[in-house]
Structure 1
Amino acid sequence: MDFDVVVLGTGLAESIAAAALSKAGFKVAHVDNNQYYGGDEASLTLDELAQWADARATDSEDKPTSEYLARQRARYTSITRSSTLPPQSRQYAVSLAPSIVPSLGSHIDSLIASGVSRYGSFKLLEKVAIYDRPGYVQSVPGSKEDVFKSKALSLVEKRRLMRFLMFAAGEFEGKKELEGKEQMPFLQYLRETFTLNDKPANAIAYALAFCICANDPTLPALQRIRQYLRSAGRYGASPFLVGHYGGLGETAQGFCRTSAVKGGTYILGRPVSGVKCPSSEANATSTDEKTPVPSARSVHRVELEEFDESLTARVVLSSSDYLPPTSLPGATSSSSSSIPDTVYQVARCIAIIDKPLVFTPTESTDEAPSTATEEPAGEPGEEADQPSTPSYEVDTAVLVFPPNTLPNASTTTAAHLLVTGEGSMSAPKGKWILNISLPLLSSASGPSAEELLRPYLDAALTLTAPPSASSEVQPAEPLFTLFYIHHPASAPSLSDPANADSDIIITPSCTTLLPAIADAATQNAEAMFWKAVRRLKGTREPQKAVPTDDEKGEEVEKDGGDSELDGIESFWPPLDVADVESADDW
């Protein structure tokens, strides 16, 4: 079976690239070892999640059935889960890569430009708050209105905070406030340049910029804040969207659907048994030694277990779980793989609860008038009206735990909790999913995932018994828990000159930052797309390096130096009526 491109893995980046290549007119085969779409970003039912965890548990007696599963076991460690599943287990959609999507960014742009937005749906994130103490949260001022309404800030603090927000929302590059301070730790920058106190500085750093630790540099943090501030108002008051049915896994499936509508061939549940690279003759180059000669036939051969025919293609796009970096011609284990400094291993917890989290702002109690000691006027036995606490249940929200928030928890990194409920179509009525992420700055072995994350889970559960509730109300007990450590994939940089002439394109490592995953995967997909197009068209590599997901804001070079790419002028071609009508053929 001959194709232009074979894509291994249906993760978000691979799925976006496959859809773009199919819409550009290339013949694409898309393969996944799993029976579901999404790869490391999949959205699973609880039944599937339990099977996923059991297959990757290192203490499993079963030997890995494929090299893919062996690599997955190396990347997912310290796995422990509840032995029983709650009822309605198939009505959950649990994300392996919890995320929130900014309303302005490359991912939303691709959803709209590709037409995939018609396959999915989103809801606005209701709230971002900081955990303060058992039962209480600290509100995060993310707009002028929030600052003016805050009762926890003095007039001077409000002025300073407003000055910073106006600065961060504008074109701050080259401004005197930033000059020479681009790499300064962001918390230090906020305190020294804008004289912000610890409380508002922590709120900005960890809940607006989503910094991982106190040493995160200033310029990337400011760029994230600007994106989020400008995102507010596009679809509603919140700058963030949460995907229905588990988020990115459903989105990846939407891109796969688009690829299939445009002729892509999909093969799921078939382990890859081998990839045979082309002979040296097939990789001959022209006399200028830079422009590869397009082969007259497909040269890479992908073999699948229990599949009669091999898949042949000129270019292979692959997750590193299917093809290690050493698959690249001339690559070595020490020189061909890398993990960006901004990509960390992450301890994760997934918990199912049957009581909602109730956000009770700390400032409401700080400002509440004291209770009178004298008996109030009125009829004997009549209770005086007490000031009400503005508590509210959340269906979809983010709760941030800055470093040093909890005893026996991390003193160096911030943890983020994403709660999703019935409103996001990810849980049945009366149930909520808590997804906790804690980046680990050190790769050295240490406490288990459960030991690392249990303090955060216990603290979050105190919010299910708000102060306004009866003293008899107890915090919720989880119906199900899963703990594990997610290690990032090691992959070569697309801009590495040593890999410039390879027809095997391996997906770069992607950030695990909650609001940045979707945009980073989209940027990786676009870089992979243009590299595949160059190889397929036999054009010269551009003089400018292809940006990785860390090089945000830089234009992706796509014209291959002086060569035109035969009518392929953009990542996504314009939508037409046929694109809309063909969706019904799926």
Structure 2
Amino acid sequence: MDADVIVLGTGLTQSITAAALSKAGFSVAHVDVNPYYGGDDTSLTLDELVEWADTRTHADDAAAPDAYLSAQRARYTSISCSTSALPQQSRQYSVSLAPTIIPSVGPLINSLVSSGVSRYGGFKLLEKVAIYDGPGSVKPVPGSKEDVFKNKDLSLLEKRRLMRFLMFAAGDFADKPELEGKEQMPFVQFLRETFSLDQRTTNALAYALAFCVSASDPTLPALQRVRRYLRSAGRYGTSPFLVGHYGGLGEIAQGFCRTAAVSGATYILGRRISSITSHSLEERTRKHRLKLHDLDEELKCDLIVSSSDFLLGGSLSLSDDIQMENTHAIARGIAIIDRPLSFSTTEQASSIEPPDPVDYATTDAEQLSPTREQLDTALLVLPPSSLPDGSSTVAVNILTTGEGSLSAPRGKWIVYISMPLLEETTRSAEELLRPYLDAALTLAVPNPDDSAAPLVPLFTMFYTQTPAPSMPSSDSSRSVLRVTDSLPILPEVADSATSQAEVLFWKAVELLKGAGCRPRPRKEDDGEEANEEVEIDSFWPPLDMVDDPSEDW
């Protein structure tokens, strides 16, 4: 089988790149060793998640692992899983390996709309972002003028200072005197010195609005993130962030694969790669040949786009990498709970009107319990030094999703914990994250039958995810493009992957044209192919038809 380009792996970056190249008119073969779409960004049922962990934990004595599985076992370590039986309805969960929140304005949303992939998925607004303020207590994160005015914890002077910063961050600050010479200053220091904000407000802005990883994060990138998030609010609702249905990025990646297939791409999943070989260009033969296990026909192409997990141990030379800055290991945790978390603050509780007199003839446990705000999708941020047993250098994010995001059955919620690891550690992922899980569980809505009963997760898993190792580039070959890891900042994962996909797309177009590959002509209105050469002048060509407004997205 001949193709202009072979894409290895169905992660979000590869899937967007494959869809763009296919829609541009190139022939694409999209291959993945895994039997599912999404790669490292996939969404799995609980049964599949346990199988995923077992495969990367236990070596198969019957046969030596292939290069991909060996790379995965090196990248996913310290995996621990609760040994109790899986919760009921285990196949109704969509658990993400790359949990994220998506800004309402940004590269991914633009690509979803421009490519037409938006018709294949759905989203839910992130309901709340809060910052941890001690056991069982949170504080709201001020992200708008209304938030500032409603906050009763701030004095009038503090509100004026905070409003001054928000107006500065939402505007064009590049040439403002407040920023001059301070672009690389730590953001927390910038907030304190330039806007005279107190420590509590500084923590909220730095870690829950700018999503800084540590106190040393520089000012300019943090301000750019804050501006984009402030401008995202109001596009689809009050929240600037969206949560994807069915686990998020895995479902979105599958949507791009579907679009690529509609445009002519060929998909092969669940086949191990036996070999990848390269040949000199003679008599216009394809440069690369890829052999798959249990498939007689070879795949031939002039360009390979792949993550390094498929390339480690091979003999292929790489073109220039698309390098992503500030990638580091992440300790991740997943927990299934049967009571929702509540971010009701003291301020909110005091504003709740007194209930009507209780009718003891119809009293039940729920009627007697205090009113608590129950959240389906929410984000809790714990700044450095929030917990005695936690990290003193990095912030930890805890994302919860429930039935409303179509990721869990009714009455169940998924809790995702992510902790950046800026330095090497000998502690396991569970040792690092267990204190944060316990802190989050103190925010759970009380059990109506026993308000003192602690919340015990139905299932837990912890693991450490390390970035792919760097690989040497070579000037002798410019026919292999490597996909690198996305930025690990929670709201930047999806947009980072999309931006990288666009860079890869334009590099691929250049290399394919240099190899003599020409995109197939687009069909005219009468169904005949146009004779003139196709000129590629945009990441996504115009959609062939207007989307049906009745379709859900």
- Tell whether the structures are fold-level matches, with TM greater than 0.5: yes
Rate the CA distance shift 1:471–1:237 in 2: closer, same or farther, 3 A.
Answer: same
- 8 Å Cα contact 1:401/1:416 also seen in 2: yes
Offset from partner CA, 1:496-517 (integer Å, 9 cap, x none): 7x55951111102211211000
Determine the structure 2 residue equivalent to 1:317: 305
Q: Distance in 2 between matches of 1:351 and 1:60?
A: 27
Determine the structure 2 residue equivalent to 1:459: 439
Determine the structure 1 residue equivalent to 2:151: 150
SS of the equivalent of 2:10 reads: coil
Q: Distance in 2 between matches of 1:579 and 1:362?
A: 46
Correspondence for 1:436 among 417, 424, 430:
417
Determine the structure 1 residue equivalent to 2:544: 576
Offset from partner CA, 1:469-523 (integer Å, 9 cap, x none): 7973323101000100000113469xx7x55951111102211211000000001
1:419 and 2:400 matched: yes
Q: Distance in 1 between matches of 2:431 and 2:70?
A: 25
- 8 Å Cα contact 1:421/1:428 also seen in 2: yes
Q: Distance in 2 between matches of 1:362 and 1:579?
A: 46
- Counterpart amino acid of residue 488 in structure 2: T
- 8 Å Cα contact 1:42/1:97 also seen in 2: yes
Determine the structure 2 residue equivalent to 1:546: none
SS of the equivalent of 1:318 reads: strand
Give the superposition deviation at 1:132: 1.1
Give the superposition deviation at 1:251: 0.1
1:522 and 2:523 matched: no
Where do residues 165-244 of structure 1 align in structure 2 (5 Å cutoff)? 165-244=166-245
Correspondence for 2:332 among 348, 359, 375:
348
Give the superposition deviation at 1:361: 1.3
Give the superposition deviation at 1:278: 2.1
Rate the CA distance shift 1:440–1:62 in 2: closer, same or farther, 3 A.
Answer: farther
Q: Distance in 2 between matches of 1:529 and 1:341?
A: 20
The answer for unaligned runs of 5 or more in structure 2 is 353-368, 517-531
Q: Distance in 2 between matches of 1:578 and 1:360?
A: 43
Q: Distance in 2 between matches of 1:222 and 1:359?
A: 26
Q: Distance in 1 between matches of 2:397 and 2:323?
A: 22
Give the superposition deviation at 1:61: 5.6
Determine the structure 2 residue equivalent to 1:8: 8
Q: Distance in 1 between matches of 2:306 and 2:323?
A: 16
SS of the equivalent of 2:342 reads: strand
SS of the equivalent of 2:124 reads: strand
The answer for unaligned runs of 5 or more in structure 1 is 283-294, 370-387, 541-563
State the structure with bigger RCO (CA 8 A, min sep 6), 1 or 2: 2
Give the superposition deviation at 1:296: 2.3
- Counterpart amino acid of residue 10 in structure 1: T
Determine the structure 2 residue equivalent to 1:403: 384
Offset from partner CA, 1:331-361 (integer Å, 9 cap, x none): 9xxxx88975411100000000000001121
Rate the CA distance shift 1:499–1:47 in 2: closer, same or farther, 3 A.
Answer: farther
Q: Distance in 2 between matches of 1:565 and 1:440?
A: 50
- 8 Å Cα contact 1:49/1:94 also seen in 2: yes
Q: CA RMSD in A?
A: 2.6
1:74 and 2:54 matched: no
Q: Distance in 2 between matches of 1:580 and 1:518?
A: 26
Q: Distance in 2 between matches of 1:227 and 1:278?
A: 46
1:478 and 2:457 matched: yes
Q: Distance in 2 between matches of 1:229 and 1:500?
A: 46
- 8 Å Cα contact 1:465/1:474 also seen in 2: no
SS of the equivalent of 1:303 reads: strand
- Counterpart amino acid of residue 503 in structure 2: A
Q: Distance in 2 between matches of 1:267 and 1:465?
A: 46
- Counterpart amino acid of residue 289 in structure 2: R
Q: Distance in 2 between matches of 1:354 and 1:52?
A: 24
Give the superposition deviation at 1:368: 8.4
Point out the more displaced range, 61-70 or 207-216: 61-70
- 8 Å Cα contact 2:30/2:268 also seen in 1: yes
Rate the CA distance shift 1:100–1:297 in 2: closer, same or farther, 3 A.
Answer: same
- Counterpart amino acid of residue 238 in structure 1: S
1:253 and 2:254 matched: yes
Where do residues 439-450 of structure 1 align in structure 2 (5 Å cutoff)? 439-442=420-423, 444-450=424-430
- 8 Å Cα contact 2:374/2:445 also seen in 1: no
Determine the structure 1 residue equivalent to 2:17: 17
Determine the structure 2 residue equivalent to 1:392: 373
Give the superposition deviation at 1:539: 8.4
- 8 Å Cα contact 1:46/1:89 also seen in 2: yes
Could you list the runs of 4 or more consecutive aligned residues of structure 1 that deviate by over 6 angstroms after TM superposition? 336-339, 468-471, 578-581
Q: Distance in 2 between matches of 1:89 and 1:566?
A: 48
SS of the equivalent of 2:175 reads: coil
Determine the structure 2 residue equivalent to 1:360: 344
Identity across matched positions, percent = 60
Determine the structure 1 residue equivalent to 2:468: 489
Q: Distance in 2 between matches of 1:338 and 1:28?
A: 21
1:533 and 2:509 matched: yes
Q: Distance in 2 between matches of 1:241 and 1:330?
A: 36
- 8 Å Cα contact 2:131/2:381 also seen in 1: yes
1:512 and 2:481 matched: no
Q: Distance in 2 between matches of 1:403 and 1:390?
A: 31
Q: Distance in 1 between matches of 2:303 and 2:44?
A: 30
Q: Distance in 1 between matches of 2:457 and 2:113?
A: 38
How many residues align? The count is 518
Q: What TM-score do the two structures reach when normalised by structure 1?
A: 0.84
Q: Distance in 1 between matches of 2:93 and 2:22?
A: 31
